[in-house]
Amino acid sequence: MTDSADSFAPHRARLTRIAYRMLGSVAEAEDVVQDAYLRWHQLDRAAVENAGAFLARMVTRLCLDHLKSARVQRETYIGPWLPEPVVEPDIDLSEEAEDLTLALMMALERLSPLERAAFLLHDVFGMSFDEVALAVDRDPAACRQLASRARGHVQAAKPRFPVSPEQGRDIAAAFFTASRQGDLTGLRQVLAADVVVFSDGGGKKNAAGRPVEGMERVLHFFGGLARLPSFAAPRILYQGMIDGLPGYITREGDDTLQSMAFEIENGRIKAIYVMRNPDKMRHLPF
C-alpha cells in the first residue's frame, strides 16, 4: 500500500484538477480520483511506463462514465445547474487554465462529454492528440475535431474586455452594498443592460427557478429581495476569487451559506452566479 500511495501522491493534485474540470464538482472529482487510486493499488504498476499519462487516461475514462449518469440527473435538476464554487486559496485548481473561469465551465456544460474531454486534455492540460485518443478511445483525427468544436464554444464565451482583479473586487463590493440596501440607482451603475442571474438552490434552498435576464428584471429581483420583511444583512465570510471570477461568500440572515461570483465585461457585470445549494457548499471551510 505504501508503494502505491507514494507513486500516486505526486499525481493526485493534477488528477483532481482534471476531474473537477470534467465534472464541475469537487466532491465528485475527489471520489473519482480516489477510485483511480484504488485501481492503481491493484495494478501491476511495474508494467506502467508513464504513470502520469496512464492515470490521466484512467481518470478521464472514469469521468466519462460518471458524466453519462450525471447527464440524466441534471435533466431533472430543479432550476439552473452551476458548478460548485471553488475558493482558490482552499483548493488549488490554478496550475493549469488560469482563465478557465466559472463562466467558461458553464460553456463546457453545453458540450458533449467527448468534446469536453478532448478540449480539456489537449488545450488545458497540454496532452498530445495521440494521448487524448488513448484516453477517450477515439483516433487522433477525431479528437482533433472534437477539440476544435469545443474550442469554438469556449472562445465565444470568453469576455472580450476582461477586468483586472482589483477592478473586479471593487465592482463586486459596489454590487454587494447596493443590492443589500435596495439601491437601484447604485445597481444600474454596475450592471450591463443584458445582465443575467443564474441561481442554484438545487431544490433545497430558495432560488430563482430559471435565469433572470435583463437589467430591469434583475433590478426588480434584487430590489424585491431587499424589501422582504424577513431580509437581514448577511455576514461576509470571504471576498476574493471564486472559480476565477471576483465574488464573495456570505452567511445569509436565514443561515444559508451563499456564494456570488461576477462575470464582468467592459466594466459592467454581465452575469451573476449565485450558489445556495447546501450540497455544493460542503467543501468550503466556512
Q: Cα–Cα distance between 54 and 129 in angstroms, integer?
A: 15
- Counting residues of the chain whose pLDDT is more than 90, the rounded percentage is 52
* Residue 70 reports pLDDT greater than 60: yes
pLDDT in tens, 148-196: 999 988 888 776 777 788 899 999 999 999 998 889 999 999 999 999 9
Hey, what CATH topology would domain 2-157 get?
Butyryl-CoA Dehydrogenase, subunit A; domain 3 (1.20.140)
* Residue 125 reports pLDDT greater than 80: yes
Q: Whole-number mean pLDDT of the chain?
A: 87
Q: Cα–Cα distance between 175 and 179 in angstroms, integer?
A: 6
pLDDT in tens, 214-238: 999 999 999 888 887 777 778 899 9
Question: pTM of the full predicted structure?
Answer: 0.82
What are the boundaries of each domain within the chain?
A: 2-157, 165-280
Residue 212 confidence (pLDDT) = 96
Hey, what CATH topology would domain 165-280 get?
Nuclear Transport Factor 2; Chain: A, (3.10.450)
Is-same-fold flag (2-157; 165-280)?
no
Name the pLDDT band for 100 (thresholds 50, 70, 90): low
Residue 90 confidence (pLDDT) = 45
- Counting residues of the chain whose pLDDT is more than 70, the rounded percentage is 92
